[in-house]
Amino acid sequence: MLKITPYLGVIVLIVSIGGLWYPVLGYFLLVVFAAIFLISPFRGRWFCGNLCPRGSFVDFWVSKISRKKKIPATLRSLWIRLPIFFLLMGFMGYRISNAIGSLNAFEKIGMVFVMMCLVTTAIATLLGSYLSPRTWCSFCPMGTAQRLLGGKKYPLKLEKEKCIGCKKCEKVCPMQLKITQNATNPDCIKCGRCVDTCPKDALKF
């Protein structure tokens, strides 16, 4: 992860709470969407593990109150994730199209983004504290989009002859991935924690 990654979580609070008074802050989501669609075709879910403010928020804030349980495997299934993706995107599109052309349309659209950020952050916080910090990230529509756009790009590589099977890498993986079974999982968020932890230097990008 980057040096600034642990500090990005504060942006989520600024947009979700400050945005209730200053809806223009909601347009920050457009920056996030643009970054995701520029980065993911080359680096998969790298944005999630390095630049996403909510990812940082759950990793470094919510983790302090998390029960750190297992993330249910069903939440990772595309059968669950794709309907959630289309539902949330469709709902956001519907709300924006209603606002277009109305009085104060700029502010109203900003508020649609703010509410989207606030509600999803509330869900991420609840799930993160009850289960594991990155539970939301297992089925977040923006994570799913990155997986579809570049899940095979910039894969983690495991040198099997060096690996001693200690599973220290899996213990630190925020996405709870089974690294030793499938190092190239398209839901890897490229945070690099496993690489830093491996005592045998068996992992690299």
- Would you tell me which residues interact with ligand SF4 (CB under 6 A)? 48-49, 52, 54-55, 136-137, 140, 142-143, 156, 158, 163-169, 172-173, 175, 177, 179-180, 188-194, 197-198, 200, 202-203
Which is closer to ligand SF4, CB of 23 or CB of 135?
A: 135
The nearest distance, CB 129 to ligand SF4, in angstroms, is 15
Which is closer to ligand SF4, CB of 116 or CB of 191?
A: 191
Between CA 4 and CA 50 the distance in angstroms is 8
The nearest distance, CB 146 to ligand SF4, in angstroms, is 7
Q: Residues 178, 183, 188, 193: what is their CA dihedral angle, to the nearest 10 degrees?
A: 80
Between CA 26 and CA 92 the distance in angstroms is 13
The nearest distance, CB 42 to ligand SF4, in angstroms, is 16
Which is closer to ligand SF4, CB of 47 or CB of 99?
A: 47
Q: What SS3 class is residue 52?
A: coil
Which is closer to ligand SF4, CB of 25 or CB of 179?
A: 179
The nearest distance, CB 109 to ligand SF4, in angstroms, is 20
The nearest distance, CB 55 to ligand SF4, in angstroms, is 3
Which is closer to ligand SF4, CB of 114 or CB of 175?
A: 175
**Please, where are the H alpha helices in the chain?**
9-13, 28-43, 46-50, 53-60, 78-99, 105-130, 141-150, 168-172, 193-197
State the burial class of residue 180 (Cβ atoms within 10 Å of its Cβ: 0-12, 13-18, 19+).
middle
